[in-house]
């Protein structure tokens, strides 16, 4: 079987190297690119990201990638900030219009004595939907999160996690998926999710 060609969108995130290595360990050919042709010719597209929504969208606009991402017709996975950018809007930085590829708005996680913000660390996935991205992932398995903003649970939520309330951990709209956690840092669960993205989704 030919290794899937993965376009790793050059969004300027500091997690790009670790995402690349995680994909290559699973047999994919991962190419970091901001080239429209490369992205549209790929078998899979990954939008990574770490940092703030405004800076992430500015990077995508300056590279001319907003329109390109709307043209993608193969499975696309947003990771961490990349997932948040897939939605329509984020409260971060006073309000940012994002890509609008998945319905919904990202909001600030309210800090409480029991739930510190940023949310950093291992958290269980719950309420798993039947979806090829989550094949062989069991409820209660833990993933690694680092975020201060999150998507509320809604019609597009495939899995939730709890941190001072329930939040979307995985979302999907059509061929667009998002993972709020870092699969490249989430041990066996993360490897399973990425393996599914490379082979199970879109069939």
The CATH number linked to 57 is 3.40.50.880
Query: Once rounded to an integer, what is the mean pLDDT over residues 195-200?
Result: 94
Quote the domain boundaries for residue 190. Answer: 5-199
Query: Once rounded to an integer, what is the mean pLDDT over residues 169-175?
Result: 98
**Residue 119: active-site member:** no
For the chain, how many structural domains are there in total?
Answer: 1
Query: Once rounded to an integer, what is the mean pLDDT over residues 13-24?
Result: 80
Cα–Cα distance for residue pair 187/141, rounded to 1 Å: 10
Kindly name the residue from 71, 80, 105, 200 that is annotated as catalytic: 80
Cα–Cα distance for residue pair 124/114, rounded to 1 Å: 16
The whole-number pLDDT of residue 133 equals 98
Contact 144, 122 (CB under 8 A): yes
Q: Is 179 exposed, middle or buried (0-12, 13-18, 19+ CB in 10 A)?
A: buried
pTM for this entry: 0.95
Angle (CA) 109 15 79, round 5°: 55
**Residue 80: active-site member:** yes
């Amino acid at each position: 079987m030919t290794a899937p060609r993965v376009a790793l969108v050059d969004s300027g995130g500091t997690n790009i190297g670790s995402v690349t290595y995680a994909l290559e360990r699973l047999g994919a050919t991962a190419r970091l690119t901001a080239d429209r042709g490369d992205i549209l010719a790929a078998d899979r597209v990954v939008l990574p990201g770490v940092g703030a929504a405004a800076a992430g969208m500015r990077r995508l606009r300056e590279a001319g990638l907003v329109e390109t991402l709307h043209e993608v017709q193969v499975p696309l996975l947003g990771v961490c900030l990349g997932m948040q950018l897939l939605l329509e809007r984020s409260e971060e930085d006073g309000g940012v219009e994002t890509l609008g590829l998945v319905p919904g708005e990202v909001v600030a996680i309210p800090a409480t004595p029991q739930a510190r913000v940023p949310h950093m660390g291992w958290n269980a996935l719950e309420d798993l939907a039947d979806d090829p991205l989550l094949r062989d992932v069991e409820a209660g398995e833990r993933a690694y999160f680092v975020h201060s903003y999150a998507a509320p649970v809604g019609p597009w939520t495939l899995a939730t996690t709890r941190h001072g309330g329930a939040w979307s951990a995985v979302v999907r709209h059509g061929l667009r998926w998002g993972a709020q956690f870092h699969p490249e840092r989430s041990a066996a669960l993360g490897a399973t999710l990425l393996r599914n993205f490379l082979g199970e989704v879109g069939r």
